[in-house]
Amino acid sequence: MRSIFLGDGFQIGRVYHRNVAALLKEEAGLASDTVFSSADLGVKDFSGVEYVFSTWGMPVIAEEDVRKFFPNLKAVFYAAGSVKHFAPAFLKAGVRVFSAWKANAVPVIEYACSQILLANKGFFHSSLLASGGDYRGGASVFGRFPGNYGCPVGIIGAGAIGSGLIRKLKEHRLDVYVYDPFITAEKAAELGAVKVDTLEVLFSTCRTVSNHSANIESTKGMLTGSLFAMLPEYSTFINTGRGAQVDEKGLVKVLEARKDIFAILDVTWPEPPEKGHLFYSLPNVILTPHIAGSSGSEVRRMAEYMAEEFIALKNGAAPRYEVTGDMLASMA
């Protein structure tokens, strides 16, 4: 076996469409559609395996076991997003890791862009009133919103999702501001945004703020109640990053006090919110159950990215989606 599927059989079957699997059999020497798991380590002989293809459900394997059971492994191709849970051991063992994180960013960008455009039109505020029977009230509050042309929008985080979202928003002639300690003002300008140095400036300036910051220790709880209180009248906060980055008690207090602020939350901490949490009952909160990422047929895009990356590597082309140890510190 030169290449194998490793991980969760259901997920691999869902992500690696038969056309991609056939391509990998031809190009990567994938022996069969068999999916191996961590239970096969020490039972099956993987000494000849050079490439592993996986997705959600990739097992965490200790560095010493990577070296022991996969002595000739060259690379892991992960058709999903974050690799933080398994990549360090493989990288330390000298195995290259490739991830379809940029492919997984595409639907999140589409989701966030659509929510931002609707928010700037007053969709969430006006529809709440109109659907509740106050049609005139909905029409009236609609007039409090600026629309999209030239509207100041704040993006937190300029990784694959944040950067892609900035580019997408510029197509709609929005004024985009970005907060990210890892990006320079020059790079932000190239993307089409103005870099701000503090979250206070971002929140007090922008009518819609969308969170896409990296899931690292320093970002936990960084979005405080005092920041939400700085939002201009009739503003919207959108979170497709991580729930733990939000001081949710502080957010609830602001949402209770200011009905003019709306929160669109695709992620929470914990997830889902505990029973009885005010997120379920506050009228100015919309919860979606972590749907921004790849779903349905969208997951196939990630497998296609990894198949293309393998062929590029095989042909000596420069990789596009390789993950290094240094990158892990700032990746979501």
Given 64, 190, 233, 271, the catalytic residue? 271
Q: Of 212, 242, 300, 301, which is the active-site residue?
A: 242
Considering the candidates 50, 290, 308, 322, report the single residue annotated as catalytic: 290
170 in Cβ contact with 192 (< 8 Å): yes
d(CA 239, CA 263): 8
| 50 in active site | no
Residues ≥6 apart with Cβ < 8 Å to 123? none
Active-site residue 167, yes or no? no
Q: Is 125 a catalytic residue?
A: no
> What does the alpha-carbon distance between residue 290 and residue 266 come to, in Å, rounded to a whole number?
5
Q: Which residues are catalytic?
A: 242, 271, 290
